[in-house]
Structure 1
Amino acid sequence: MTRGSVRSIIGARHLSFRTCTSTPMTRTLDALLKLDELQSLLGSGDADKLHDAARRAQVALGFRATDAMLGLEPVGEDVLERLGAAVRAALREATALGVHDAACELARMHMADGDLDGAFATVVAAAEAGHCPGVELAAHIAGRTRDPQRAAQALGWLQAARERDEHGRMHFMLGLFACQGVGGEVDVARGLACHTEAAARGDADAMFELYVMHARGLGCPADEAVALVWCRKAAEGGNVRAMGNLGGFYATGSGVERDPARAVEWYERAAQLGHGRSAATLGTMYATGDGVVVAREQARLWFRTADDLGFDWRDMAEAVGLDVEAWDDAFAGPMGLD
């Protein structure tokens, strides 16, 4: 699911019948036009046009993946399969022509298929060329596979790219490698230094790691106040886990004055960016009246959103005394407004 798509899902649940039934032909035609464009470009040798057309088709495919959740009649599977195959072919051709961004997109597809070997092989040339997104992706794959040779390669690419690390991603990955012992021995102090540098360059994920390290006393004295500062910075910078944690702090009064309204605000921001646990938490809050007015439809909406995000909210709901079967059955009814 693409970043920010959950907000669209929530906003579109109450689309009118007329809206839902007036667009399938347009969407099918759009897919066919994009397919025709890609097929006309394959073999042309025009790397930029291939990559641009493939990216636009990818966006369309991303929207088509959520059609059923929005109550829209899906575009035919045969059309989508042909478009998806054409996108991959275009990205392969653009990659062969030296478009490193295309290599990264194709590698992510391999990863989604569970083909980490293919993903790594696809992005090697980009990483060797010092393309920072390619280096980051290669390092991510190496960290997942724990292959010593790949880890050593990725570590070298990360170190070589540090001077061009405008947004802190190289230092963030170096911090993860150091803390986890990827490509060498575990060195938490070095990890802390790398994450600190990444955070200084604006990386919100590094800020979240600093929150965890200061909260747990990893490579530094444990300090809840400092940890909270980093959690807030990470949340404000866009890290969804930090948003969810900050919502929890306001919900419970941990380290801050209890403020249910701000808790809901942060939980909603996290859920709308794909954090399933935050969506589930909102569901339990609205179902039980924990810090908010009981609102069954809001609860149903957030539980359903958690399901859409692949997070099973049922254990959480059961833990606060909700009848999970009754809430599951409630999904069979029409969604409405309180």
Structure 2
Amino acid sequence: MSKLRVGVIGAGSWAVAAHLPALAARPDDVDFVGVCRRGDDALRRVKERFGFRIASEDYRDVLAAGVDVVVVASPTAHHHEHATAALLAGAHVLCEKPFTLTSQQAWDVVQTAERANRQLLLSFGWNYAPMVERARKLLCAGGIGAVEQISVTMSSQTRELLADTGGYPDASPDSAPEPATWTDPAISGGGYGQAQLSHALALAFGLTGARARGAFALMSSPLSAAVELHDAICLSLEGGGICSVAGASSFVGADGNKHHLAVEAVGSDGQFMIDVFRERVSLFRPATGQADLPVAPGEGAYDGARAANCLIDLASGRRTDNPAPGELGARTVEALELAYRSAASGAFETSS
């Protein structure tokens, strides 16, 4: 099989720290064709480090070079344009989270992927983790029935990043994140909700199939931050269930910079729990009792390489299942869009 031609739109800090090293580790599978980012010096360094043939500040030059797979890791405000163009150019696409600024944009990209018959993946790293994939199989074999209540809690070391007082511990040391990417609401769409709760919602919604229909949200912006650092969100779900979501920007150095993330769900036929920090997965059903999945130490840690590897495996036909498809990304955008509307209005907001 010939190598897959790779294009990257937005080779910023996270792409350099996670996606590009993962792809570079597969020299028999990929050919680095084109890369796009702002800044001549940074662009040159990425081109030379990974061996791209073409480097340009115009993403259209990357697509025109001919690509089979594209990583879209540009700022969120550009995801709709960049992902749509890549799909229409015939590429399978891995899009960074948060997916898009609006749910209308998100569903438009999903429909474009369907019409183009191309794979669309979101960079929700935990959804690709082996412990999560085993949890998904456990739920498919015997689920919890109609979802009645979901509790989602998350904290991660984004206090300094979102307040623009420091960096992010998982960022590439060679390419610091552009502050505006995270702290300008016009570019990011918001703070902790966009940056981190998009991950948490993707984990919860991916495992339970939930979809938000309404939200009441409180958001806090200490340190005079331009975006929120902390979130408290109540969601109403399609089918009558409810969901609580708590998100906090913790200090760099806390708990060895390991993310706290847990999802608990109660349904008509049982209840389920996954905790990536404590590395535990359990399912209880009255008819069969409790099942606890074995989880190896360290398995709950975030691995940024998995999404790019899945992109290559899907595009090459080695894999057929997509753990973080575009429609899941669109459901996370719907929930966050409602939450930000509610925080701004002070009222319970519902989808139209």
Tell me the TM-score normalized by structure 1.
0.26
Greater CA radius of gyration, 1 or 2?
1
Structure with the bigger percentage of strand: 2
Tell me the TM-score normalized by structure 2.
0.25
Structure with the bigger percentage of helix: 1
